[in-house]
Structure 1
Amino acid sequence: MTLHEPTIFVLLLIGYAMLGLLLVTAGRRLVSGESLRRWGWGNGLMLAGYLFLLVDVAAPWPGWIAASNALIVYGEFVFVTALQRFIDERLPSGPLRWGGVAAALSMLPLMLLPTPTRMPIQSLIAALPLLWAGWLVWRSRARAERALRPVGLMLVLVAVALLIRTVHALLQPAAYVDLSQPNPVQTLLALAAYAALLGSGFGFVLACTERATRSLERQASHDGLTGALNRQAGGPLLQRTLLRARRERQGVAYVLLDLDRFKQVNDEHGHAFGDEVLRRFARTVRTRMRASDLFVRLGGEEFALVLPDSDAAGALVVLEHLRRDCLEMGLCTESGCACRVSFSAGIALSPQGRVDGDALYRAADTALYRAKRAGRDQVALAGADETIHP
């Protein structure tokens, strides 16, 4: 079986041109624009590489082949840098970037070798960055987008195809003496490899789209400054927690937290420092949370904690640990002065989930203001007659 190679190259050029248009369009709208731009550069290098192959078919010259191989190999390395930028959310390492340059330049002196000798070396060099890309996806499989897995799989399939061609060229060097002669193994493997490279590009766009969707969902449900749930998302989740507590006959503790004298912090040290206080406080709270707990920013310096399967004693233990953690945050102003962070809290209970969310908020709010009137840095329990020092 033989395939018309110029037809394959034309189809690949059309495919890479379509992918390039998609990358340009998507890169302007998605949060992973830098990664998409890098993939777009790799796509452009691939497009140029296959264009040189098509030119070589029409007007054979070793320079076209050398340029094509260099562009394609460098394009693969650029794909790897795009993957690393997307997965690790940091700039690719220097060795990776310079490795791509070295691999591309190595294609030029290889043209001095006979084709049967050159082919396995080129195929092996081209397979290495793709194997690296597959490893990047594999090591991040637990946290990366699901759409990224087919991308890694397709890139590894390309690498496997290139390794098969490496072995075939070593075992059957006569088949690579004259590349103008039909070689079914090389043609089929090249077609499969190139199609997989093209498919991985569309898969990468899907992964970026998946991340953008997840980011939008998070922005809609979380506070941008502290990372806590916002009020709109916290209400329905509280109701769901109460319904589950009612079914399982468990108690729920609802805690309102208000940072003491926060306005004074903003007035004396600026809003930028006040934002850092809120971020550090939220980070400290999350270290004390269970997976089932909810942490909501209600507005300004007021937060809510929802503690399923908990009572007043359990909530007090959490608040005691949190109070100590706040004292150890080590916040310092620009002048080097230590900034002590404390909070007042009000606790309301919903035995077996029978008290609804609105009633919990009102009870906890009343308790919170009682704690503040008592001197701040205290905890008050709804229905109790006095505040409780944590």
Structure 2
Amino acid sequence: MIDIHSFLLALGIGNIAFAVLMAGYTHGAAPSPGLRLWMWARFGIGMCQLLGWCRPFLDVPVLNGIEGAGWVLAVSLEVAAYCIFFGFERWRRVLLPMAALALAIVLAAGSAGAPVPYLTALVAAMVALFAAAMAWILLRPRRRASLLQRIIGLNDALFAVSVALWAASCLSSDVPLGQRTAQETAYLAGYLLMIVNGFGFLLLCKEKDDAEMARLATTDSLTGLPNRHAFLERAEHARQAALRQRQPLALAMMDIDHFKQINDRFGHATGDEALAVFAHTLRATLRAHETVGRLGGEEFAMVLPGTDLSGAQQAAERLRLAVREATVITSGAAYTMTVSVGVVVLDPNETLGMALARADHALYAAKSGGRDRVEVGHPQQRRA
């Protein structure tokens, strides 16, 4: 048998300790509203548990309603923290009315002097409802969840079920486990929730930060395209896959024509806008399995798996025409860009660098030939 009263004290201290740990983690870091709300939710839950531990010693009936209201506020904050963390845009329209209604019901029941078992059942049912909402946020089927999210979500679901059973046992003796066992199960689930969700939310934040750092390390900040390092890495993977599958692989080098004149005539802000418009046009023109990246300045490159020379020429021509249709907004009249493209198909015996060099020579030929055109690179020279 569990000493529930002492266990409640341990839970309260543990949740407050997690809140303090979270405060230390966030001190001096970039502000995170979700993390801050979660910290206050843990602190509020800990305070409610300490209040529940003190209640037998104080014998003040009004504390029952205050404790119940505190539980509603704390779990509402925790749901809000998850909504913010996962980017829900309209969560306030649903959560705020639900939390206000639940809070009003609990305060009204406490003020009316509802018996402790009924008030306990009411608060436990509301906590179970909010815990189920957190489980849904983490486990909802339309979103690809990480293993960490699933572990935390399953833990929330277990807690919701155990607290719901406890709520039912407070009102009826027909619950199979009995009220005492149901209460102990709910407290054990609460302990597991404190440990798993306490560390779990910190790990979720770290997981999100790591993903953002990886994105920043591989993405060109102006265009949103893969940067030089990321593009070359993906292109090399595509080359190796093409060799294994014995499929053709085309490469293209692209350069915005007269880009320096855009900067000189309209300013660097317009030049940046031109690069962004060009990148958007690239993404809209290419197929899903094709990769494009910014190598630097106004120079871009493209990998087209499973594409022969004829297909690469057609893809480059579609891109050239799409760029001519794109419009760059300037301080004066709108500006229309053009692009020069050099395309090659990788030879099985050449490296990625050699193929890119051939594509670059084809790009230079397109520039020399009048720009706004597509040129095919010379085949690789065979050694005797």
- What's the TM-score, normalizing by structure 1? 0.86
Quote the offset at 1:381 in angstroms. 0.9
Match of 1:279 in 2: 276
Partners of 1:140 and 1:367 lie apart in 2 by 48
- Whether the 8 Å contact between 2:317 and 2:374 is mirrored in structure 1 is no
> What letter matches 2:39 in structure 1?
G
Match of 1:215 in 2: 212
> What letter matches 1:97 in structure 2?
L
More contact order relative to length (CA 8 Å, sep ≥ 6): 1
In structure 1, runs of 5+ residues without a counterpart are: 175-181, 385-390
Match of 1:54 in 2: 53
Match of 1:118 in 2: 119
- Secondary structure class of the residue paired with 1:147: helix
1:338 pairs with 2:334 = yes
Residues 3-27 of structure 1, C-alpha deviations (whole Å, 9 max, x = no match)? 2233112211232133223322443
Match of 1:178 in 2: none
- Whether the 8 Å contact between 2:270 and 2:329 is mirrored in structure 1 is no
Match of 1:13 in 2: 12
4+ long deviations beyond 6 Å:
29-32
Partners of 1:372 and 1:171 lie apart in 2 by 84
> What letter matches 1:362 in structure 2?
A
Compared with structure 1, are the counterparts of its residues 290 and 192 closer, same or farther at alpha carbon in structure 2 (3 Å cutoff)?
A: farther
- Whether the 8 Å contact between 1:9 and 1:54 is mirrored in structure 2 is yes
Match of 2:224 in 1: 227
% same residue: 30
Compared with structure 1, are the counterparts of its residues 62 and 142 closer, same or farther at alpha carbon in structure 2 (3 Å cutoff)?
A: same
Quote the offset at 1:334 in angstroms. 5.0
Match of 1:78 in 2: 77
Residues 169-211 of structure 1, C-alpha deviations (whole Å, 9 max, x = no match)? 232399xxxxxxx952343133134224312232122112112
Moved more, 216-225 or 204-213: 216-225
Match of 2:367 in 1: 372
RMSD between superposed Cα atoms in Å: 2.7
In structure 2, runs of 5+ residues without a counterpart are: 380-384
- Whether the 8 Å contact between 2:12 and 2:48 is mirrored in structure 1 is no
Quote the offset at 1:121 in angstroms. 2.6
Aligned match for 1:318, one of 290, 297, 315: 315
Partners of 1:154 and 1:247 lie apart in 2 by 44
Match of 1:139 in 2: 140
1:349 pairs with 2:351 = no
Residues 212-244 of structure 1, C-alpha deviations (whole Å, 9 max, x = no match)? 122222222222222222222332332332222
Residues 288-346 of structure 1, C-alpha deviations (whole Å, 9 max, x = no match)? 444443222100111110112212211122223323433444543355x4332321111
Partners of 1:188 and 1:132 lie apart in 2 by 23
> What letter matches 2:368 in structure 1?
R
- Whether the 8 Å contact between 2:166 and 2:179 is mirrored in structure 1 is no
> What letter matches 1:309 in structure 2?
G
Partners of 1:144 and 1:223 lie apart in 2 by 26
Moved more, 213-222 or 249-258: 213-222
Aligned match for 2:292, one of 278, 291, 295: 295
Compared with structure 1, are the counterparts of its residues 329 and 58 closer, same or farther at alpha carbon in structure 2 (3 Å cutoff)?
A: farther
- What's the TM-score, normalizing by structure 2? 0.87
- Whether the 8 Å contact between 1:53 and 1:68 is mirrored in structure 2 is yes
Residues 48-80 of structure 1, C-alpha deviations (whole Å, 9 max, x = no match)? 211211221331222322222212221111111
Match of 1:358 in 2: 353
Match of 2:63 in 1: 64
> What letter matches 2:63 in structure 1?
W
Quote the offset at 1:379 in angstroms. 1.0
Quote the offset at 1:252 in angstroms. 1.6
- Secondary structure class of the residue paired with 2:341: strand
Match of 1:200 in 2: 197
Match of 1:159 in 2: 160
- Secondary structure class of the residue paired with 1:245: helix
Partners of 2:211 and 2:29 lie apart in 1 by 11
- Whether the 8 Å contact between 2:327 and 2:337 is mirrored in structure 1 is no
Partners of 1:146 and 1:301 lie apart in 2 by 40
Aligned match for 2:264, one of 264, 267, 274: 267
1:240 pairs with 2:237 = yes
Partners of 1:150 and 1:245 lie apart in 2 by 38
- Secondary structure class of the residue paired with 2:301: strand
Aligned length: 374
